[in-house]
Amino acid sequence: MNYERYYVCDLLNGEGVRVTLFVTGCPHACPGCHNPSTWDRKAGRPFTAEVRERLLELCATHDGLSLSGGDPLHPANRKAVEELCRQFRVRYPDKDIWLWTGYRHEEVADLEVLRFVDVLVDGRYRRDLPTSKPWRGSDNQRLIRLRR
């Protein structure tokens, strides 16, 4: 898996102060996407064990971890995202994980990684469906609380 960037003090991608990782690789290529630079899964930098550890350390003083992109549930990203979420959950059982995906929940509900995710924002971005709902880019996207 590759990633484009991460924010160490994010107030926009979920509740509270968060560490937010933007992975690369997205099969959806939604017209009007806010992050088209993340579509190519070979773009960005390799997500190494050192990067994962750095993100986990940063989460110690934050409310949670947010995963965006690109698409964290792109098939090429699933293994690394699952391992990051698994290690986060062991280290911070009382903090939460938010994940944005262009897939519908019904398409990915059986993925192991979702056992660790607290909040899933699902559905492709649709610029023809503007919204004022928090944490969503378009009105078709759902905020689904999976845990707690």
pLDDT digits (tens, 9 = 90+) for 67-115: 999 999 999 999 999 999 999 999 999 999 999 999 999 999 999 999 9
Indicate the Cα dihedral angle 137, 130, 43, 13, nearest 10°. Answer: -20
Mean pLDDT of the chain: 97
Beta strand 18-23 with 2-10 is: antiparallel
Task: Categorize the per-residue pLDDT at 148 as very low, low, confident or very high, splitting at 50, 70 and 90.
Answer: low
**Of all residues in the chain, what percent carry a pLDDT higher than 70?**
99
Question: Residue 61 sits in which domain range?
Answer: 2-145
Identity at 59, one-letter amino acid code: C
DSSP state of 47: -
In Å, what is the CA distance from 130 to each residue of 31, 88, 100, 140?
13, 33, 17, 9
Which CATH number do you get for residue 83? 3.20.20.70
Q: What is the domain count for the chain?
A: 1
